[in-house]
Structure 1
Amino acid sequence: MEILWGRYRSKSATQRVAELKHFYEVHGYSVFHCADPAVNGRYRTLMETCKQLRALALPIRWTGHLMISPAMSSEDFLLLAASGCAKVGFGVESGSERVLALMHKKTSLAAVERNVRDAHEAGLFVEIFLMVGYPGECEEDVLATIALLRKNRPYIDAVRSINTVTVQHASALWRERSTLGIEYHGRLVERDHDWSFGSDNTLEERRRRQQRILDVLNELGLSHHHAAGHDEFNS
Structure 2
Amino acid sequence: MSEVRVVVAHAERATLRVDDMFLKVDPDQARIDREVEAMTLAPVPTPTILWRKPPVLALSALSGSVLGRIGQPSTASPEAWAAAGAALRRLHDVPAPPWPGRAGRSADELTTDLDRECEWLITNGVLPAALVTRNHDLAESALRPWTPAFTHGDLHIAHVFAEGNQLTGVLDWSEAGGGDPLYDLASLTVAHQDHLHDVLTGYGTPVDLDVIHAWWSLRTLLAVHWLLDHGYNPSTPGGAVDVLKAQL
Whose relative contact order is higher, 1 or 2, with alpha carbons under 8 Å and at least 6 apart?
2
TM-score over 0.5 (shorter chain):
no
* TM-score computed with the length of structure 2 as normaliser: 0.27
* TM-score computed with the length of structure 1 as normaliser: 0.28
